[in-house]
Each structure stands twice: as C-alpha cells, then as structure tokens.
Chains A and B, each alone.
Chain A
Amino acid sequence: MATTLKDAVARKPVLATIRLIVPAGAARPAPPVGPALGFYRLNLMAFCKDFNARTQKYKAETPMQVTLTAYKDSTFEFVVKSPPVSWFLKKAAGIETASGRPGHNMVSSLTLRHVYEIAKLKQSDPYCKHMSIEALCKSIIGTANSMGIEIVKDL
C-alpha cells in the first residue's frame, strides 16, 4: 500500500482510477465509498478499515481526498491526500456553498494571509511538496475565483 502510484501502474494492468472524498475515520460501506468501489467489486470493508486506520491522526470527519487505483485482478491501492482546497476556502470564509455564478456573484472575501496559510497547510501534503508556495498560492487564488470568493490584500 505504500508504493507510489507510478510503480503500481507500471506493474499491474489498471482497471480504473477512482477519486473520492471521504470523511476521515468515518469510511462506511454507504455512499460515497459503496457504489464507487462496489461497481468494481473491490473489498469495501478492507478499504474502510484501512482508510480509517490511516486517517486516525486527522481531525474526525475532515473530508480527505482519496485516489484509488483499481487493478484488473480486483485488488486496489489507494493514497490519502489532504482535503480539497475548496474545503479550506469554505472553512476560512465561513460559507457552506460556493457561488452559483462565479465572476458575477461574490459570496465572500479572504485576504492574502488566508491564502498563504492554506498554501502552507497544502505543502505538508506529500503530493503537493514539489510545488513552491508561490505556485500553490496562485492555484488557490484560481480556485477561489472559480468559487466566487474574492481575494483582497487586506480586509
């Protein structure tokens, strides 16, 4: 389970790539896990137990991004990544849903300070380590714009 995705792909034929958002420590056979994995006949309970054990160190119920690689022989591997940027932004801005018409309706605004903090958190995620803080900030600002959150220098 600890091998990188690149090795995995080179080794076995891949059936599908599944991306999910699952609350930490709370994976159950119900949706979103159930239908997505059940469709490919993957061992649901094994995934739930494994995922829950690995996400014990995070705050419970934080939505974690999981990328599963399902192989043709019904085995699978998965990697757990940090929560999506949109979740961080929503938490920072204190809103529940993003804007329906980004660019036209702005729902909230955040400062560059917020963006920087989020970028630092994202950098601790092993899958974003290769990006510089600047690149991360730019991508976060991009996501914020697509959600209708305005980024200002100072509130």
Chain B
Amino acid sequence: MLPLVRPGRAAAPLRRLCRRILLLSSSPQTPSPSSSSSPYSTKISPLLLLLSPRPSPASGGAWRWRGVSSCAVRAVDVGGEAASTSSDLSSPYLSVRIRCRKEDAEVLSEGLLCFGATSVTVDDIAAAGNLDEITITSIYAHGEDVDSSVSNAASSAGLEYKPVYETSVGKQCDWVTVVQETYESTKVINGLWVIPKWRTPPDPQAINIIINPGLAFGTGEHPTTKLCLLLLRETVKGGERLLDYGTGTGVLGIAALKVSCLVLLVYYYLQMGAALSTGIDIDPQAVTSACENMMLNGIDSNKMLLYLVPTNAQAACFPNIDKSEENKPTGGLELKSSKGSYDIVAANILLNPLLELVEDIIGYAKPGGIVAVSGILTEQVPKVEEAYSRYLENISVSEIDGWACLQGSRKA
C-alpha cells in the first residue's frame, strides 16, 4: 500500500511557482518565434492557446492551479521524514583551522581523522611557499570535543607542541546553492539540452529540459544521464508509457515526454513523445525536486506521475498517513496495478540496488518492453548482464567515459 500524503515542504515552492505562472498567463501574448522574451513565455503561451477553446484565460489559469494541486498530491512527500533529513542537512558543523609545521601536516591529518574529524583539508603545500607553517582546515560534527581530539591527534603524531587552532561554526545550507551556480547548460546531442533553471537556453529551437536540481541527482552533466537520454531519444516513438525507477530530478521522465517533439510546434503543442511518464524514488527530496521540474517544463500532472516508495521495495504499509481530503489512498494501488504495463523502464541507480531489485525492475516492464539500467561502471557490466540475462533478450551495452548503460527487451 502506498498511501499518498499531502506534501508539507513541497507545497510552498510550488505555490510560488504557480503564482509566477498565473501572472504570466494573465497577460497573454502572441508567441513570437524569436525568443527575446524569457523562456517561460514561449512555454506558457502555447499552453494557453491549447486552453483557449475553453472559456477564458482566467479559467485557464484556474485549471492550471488545479493541475498544480493534483500534482502536489501525487508527488508523495512524507512530512516527517523530510523534516528529519532537512534537519540533518541544516545542522551546523564545526570548522577548525589549525596551524602546524609543514612537515607535520601529513601525520597530523591522519591523527585528526583518527580522532573524530570527519574531514581534513590541506591547502596546497607548494603554494604555501616559504612559510614554515601551514593551515589545515578540519571539519567536525556539531558537539564533538575538538580540544581533546586535537591534542590526541598531536600526541599520536608525535608533535612536541600543541598546535594553535580556532573554531568556527558553519551552517549547512549555504554551500548547496553556491555550488549550484557552477552548473552549466549541457548539450546531450544536437537538439537536446539540459538547462539549469537559472540559465537561458543557448539554443531556443532545441528541446530544452529545464532542471532545478536541488539535492536530487540528475543535472544532465553526468555520463549516465546522457546515456539514458540518448537511449530515450532513440526508443521513444510516440505514445509509450515510461517508468523512471529512481527518478532523482525527474530528468528522464520529463525527457521522454518532450523528446521527438517537432520544432515547428511552437504554435501547436502536439506531443509526439511518450504518453505517460511515471517516476518513483525512495528519497522524498527527489520526489520534491521532480515535481518542481515538472512544473518548470510545463508538464501536466496527468502526463507525469510521481511516487515516493518505501526503501523496502516489497511495498510495505506506510505508517504515517495524512488524513487530509486531498489524500488519495488509491495511488499505491495504481502503482502496483501498473506492474507489467510499461513500454520502457529506465533505472539509473547503482550496482547493488540494481542487482537486488532485478525482479522488481523487470516486473514493471511489459513483455517485449525495453528495460534500460545505468549508473554502472564498465567493469561492473558483466555482473549486471549476468543478473539480467535471465529476463532480458537482445542485450546491448553503450558506454561513455567509463560509465555504461545496459538495455534489453523483456522476455515474454
């Protein structure tokens, strides 16, 4: 049973996004082929045209809002668990800067790691030049006894002096956004790009998948994401049902819906991509991120469904059920009953889960359906092939940069 819970954390950013969309939709503009206007308008206006046979833009906007809240329902987000992981991430850490002699740096770092430091960073030794002393930065979990740790490390390293150090408390959240600024738009292949939310697409005519990664995996830069996107581009002909197993940011699910859209269709919004995408993940942050990315790309909630599944893949009973009226207890049943009906199943996770969950992954595909697994290194391919050859035929392997993607079709 997979009861669906109304998301606490997911709702706020979604509502903000919806307000922005509503603002744009309230001033309908004729779509221009030149995208001097923001990326959003070229996406939203075609949708409006689709809606214009209906009464008015205002009610079109209202429909959009309803679409949002039903998206919010389907994206399951267990409030309690999300809160605990976020507190994990936002708890402060201790950053300790220690000065010591150059020669002792190596041994002292070993000692510090031994006695409770979670990481030790040594700024480039060569750059320290002629200075006798260098600085080591060490990170500790909050509440650790830094003093005893440093003195134990110093004595185990055989230092006669106790190194001078200063402690400062750091906060978690800041660096996540800082690193995000370095993400670039990635070209997967001619005509297919993955763009971070804060960048403009370099090629507006191409199929652009807009992603706000947050803490989920799948910005499009990693070779495995590229491999899967290329595979989708080749296999999606139109009207398929896709399951994205371990959806992360939802990039594969969104790509399947968008891919093989003709360029002309800025005026028309005719979907030549997959008919339906379903994304599942065990991480609530992934489901949140995927839901947001769905909105960013203007995907209807009935084209893409998202589920949070328990870590134990044999669907166990979820203990906390939200009794709000938006709760749809049939969601879990929908997922279970859809087993064996997907044309394409894509699983970009890791070797061990792939090996453990073989039956679960294959179970979702229909006989003759395509199953693609990735997130494996080239050297791990034989193991995966061995496990999957029981269920798949026509197995082929593609590789980029030492990472591989294995695909096959399910035996009848």
Contacts and interface: CB of A to CB of B under 8 A. Distances in A.
Contacts of A37: 179
B89 interface: yes
Interface in B355-389: 375-377, 380
Nearest to A19: B120
Query: Chain B at the A interface: mostly helix, strand, loop or mixed?
Result: mixed
Nearest to B354: A56
Interface string B202-229: 0000000000010101010110100000
Interface in B302-351: 350-351
Interface residues of A, number: 46
Interface string A90-133: 00000000101010000000000000000000000000000000
Given A29-B215, A31-B93, A41-B179, A36 B121 contact: yes
Interface stretch (B8-16, B39-47, B109-117): B109-117
Interface in A58-73: 60, 65
A35 B178 contact: no
Interface in A14-38: 14-21, 25, 29-38
A18 B119 contact: yes
B350 A52 contact: yes
A49 B222 contact: yes
Nearest to B121: A18
A44 interface: yes
A16 B113 contact: no
A45 B180 CA distance: 10
Given A41-B179, A43-B221, A30 B88 contact: yes
A46 B221 contact: yes
B156 A18 contact: no
B176 A21 contact: no
A53 B377 contact: yes
Interface stretch (B28-36, B56-64, B122-130, B391-399): B122-130
A41 B47 CA distance: 38
Contact of A53 (B115, B125, B219, B350): B350
A48 to B, nearest CB: 8
Contacts of B123: 15-16
B172 A49 contact: no
B314 to A, nearest CB: 19
A21 B117 CA distance: 9
A32 B94 CA distance: 11
A53 B222 CA distance: 13
Given A15-B124, A25-B350, A52-B350, A84 B89 contact: no
B95 to A, nearest CB: 7
B114 A36 contact: no
A52 to B, nearest CB: 5
B119 A20 contact: yes
A74 B376 contact: no
A54 B376 CA distance: 9
Interface of B: 88-89, 93, 95, 109-111, 113-115, 118-126, 137, 139, 141, 148, 152, 155-156, 170, 172, 175-176, 178-179, 182, 213, 215, 217, 219, 221-222, 224, 350-352, 375-377, 380, 402-403
16 contacts: A18-B121, A19-B109, A19-B122, A21-B113, A29-B176, A30-B88, A31-B141, A34-B172, A35-B170, A35-B172, A36-B139, A44-B176, A45-B219, A53-B377, A143-B114, A146-B152
Question: Which 4 A-B pairs have CB atoms at the shortest separation, nearest pair first?
Answer: A38-B175, A32-B118, A146-B156, A56-B351
Given A20-B118, A33-B119, 19 more contacts: A16-B124, A19-B113, A19-B119, A19-B122, A30-B88, A31-B119, A35-B93, A35-B170, A38-B175, A42-B179, A49-B224, A53-B350, A53-B351, A53-B380, A56-B352, A100-B148, A102-B152, A143-B156, A146-B156
